[in-house]
Amino acid sequence: MKYVDEFRDPVKARVLLKEIEALVLRIAICRQRPLQLMEVCGGHAHSIFKYGIEPMLPKAIEFVHGPGCPVCVLPMGRVDDCVALAEHPQVIFTTFGDAMRVPGSKKSLLQARADGADVRMVYSPMDALKIARANPHREVVFFALGFETTMPSTAFTVLRAEREGVKNFSLFCNHITIIPTIKAILDSPELTLDGFLGSGHVSMVIGTAPYEFIARHYRKPIVVAGFEPLDILQSVWMLLKQLTEGRCEVENQYQRVVPDAGNDQALIAVGRVFELREFFEWRGLGSIDHSGIRLKESYARFDAERKFSVPNLKIADPKSCQCGEVLKGVIKPWDCKVFGGACTPETPLGALMVSSEGACAAYYNYGGVDLARLIRARAEEAPAEAGT
């Protein structure tokens, strides 16, 4: 723990906060409206809430919690496909823990397991491969999920399965890529974002170059940020510095982990087994071109979607949900009509309430006292509304 404590030092935080306050005064926009900074990654949202960072910042800075929680943005139809695969009598369905609770249109994987499906929680795709080796007469499906952060470990596992000749292992591939999604958000007409915190974990794989278009084409500053509280404060400071100096650049705050060029070996492995899908459906954002990843034809034998038939139905997000507007920073989570009433972490309607990294769930669980009061008031009104 001695390696992280120094990034959580409250004394250093106060110094940074003072400088941030001074910079805010020099930014013209802040005199008209709050500055909106989007942290793209769910990991950042988690740290911001866990350490109570937002209330420490000047009121003129607002975080907009972006689409970077892969569990949240998974559409209901894909969860239904997971459940269908898991309920196949021949299948052992393996998944990361936090995907187990995501509701499908009928049930979550946790409920499917209670109903008799063989669903097992793993910490790495290699664990799933191990289960496949130990159960040669069953089909082991791994629920591959996440952005570029988790893609290489899935790719390496597929390459290993190929090398070892394992035939009963396949992926239900739901990997997604962040860049087209950021682009979709930037193209949105309602956009008011002023800058981005880029995901340190994703960048560790892809490097910093893929973000260049944000600075060059859309004229928004972006700082690739680490996940400790001081990392986040320093990154905010770097963004403000760019704004005061009228610069729009890609800067790398997380240099101790992120090489500007990314990780070659990881990218080569990803490139060998994966390719882009034409389009992919995101919960809360709709269909986004070239944002999904699937196995290449040459690895089709490891693709659960080709090995088994899945329903592959599109299930529309509930109409009452305003996840898309929250994701783009147009409204705050609590401005959504169903927040805290019909939509809670126990019974999530929208994507952002699903995982602890979703913005709505984070505000629900970690929000301040005023929010706690609001939630209580809405919970009391909820029974009447829930039937509608």
Phi, psi of 220 (to 5 degrees): -120, 135
Beta carbon nearer to another protein, 53 or 184: 53
345 part of the interface to another protein, by CB under 8 A: yes
Residue 139 tokens read as 């089909």
> 237 Cβ partners below 8 Å, 6+ apart?
16, 19, 20, 23
Q: Work out how close the CB of 67 gets to another protein at its nearest, in angstroms, rounded to a whole number.
A: 14
Do residues 20 and 48 lie in contact, with contact meaning Cβ atoms separated by under 8 Å? no
Count of CB atoms situated within 10 Å of the CB of 114:
11
Q: Work out how close the CB of 171 gets to another protein at its nearest, in angstroms, rounded to a whole number.
A: 15
49 part of the interface to another protein, by CB under 8 A: yes
How far apart, in whole angstroms, are the C-alpha atoms of residue 73 and residue 52? 24
145 part of the interface to another protein, by CB under 8 A: yes
Provide the phi-psi class of 352: left if phi over 0, else alpha when psi is between -120 and 50, else beta. Answer: alpha
Beta carbon nearer to another protein, 19 or 325: 19
357 part of the interface to another protein, by CB under 8 A: yes
Q: Work out how close the CB of 201 gets to another protein at its nearest, in angstroms, rounded to a whole number.
A: 6
Beta carbon nearer to another protein, 122 or 243: 122
Provide the phi-psi class of 340: left if phi over 0, else alpha when psi is between -120 and 50, else beta. Answer: left
How far apart, in whole angstroms, are the C-alpha atoms of residue 382 and residue 161? 49
Q: Work out how close the CB of 359 gets to another protein at its nearest, in angstroms, rounded to a whole number.
A: 15
Residue 185 tokens read as 């958000």
Do residues 250 and 208 lie in contact, with contact meaning Cβ atoms separated by under 8 Å? yes
What's the one-letter identity of residue 127?
A: D
Selected from 94, 149, 208, 291, the binder of another protein by CB under 8 A is: 149
324 part of the interface to another protein, by CB under 8 A: no
67 part of the interface to another protein, by CB under 8 A: no
Selected from 142, 147, 254, 299, the binder of another protein by CB under 8 A is: 147
Beta carbon nearer to another protein, 4 or 261: 4
Selected from 38, 40, 64, 71, the binder of another protein by CB under 8 A is: 71
The stretch near another protein (CB under 8 A) out of 24-32, 72-80, 299-307, 355-363 is: 355-363
Phi, psi of 5 (to 5 degrees): -55, -35
Count of CB atoms situated within 10 Å of the CB of 93:
26
- Which residues are at the interface with another protein (CB under 8 A)? 1, 4, 8, 10, 13-14, 42-43, 46, 49-56, 70-71, 96-101, 110, 121-123, 127, 145-147, 149-150, 201, 229, 345-346, 355-357, 365-369, 371-373
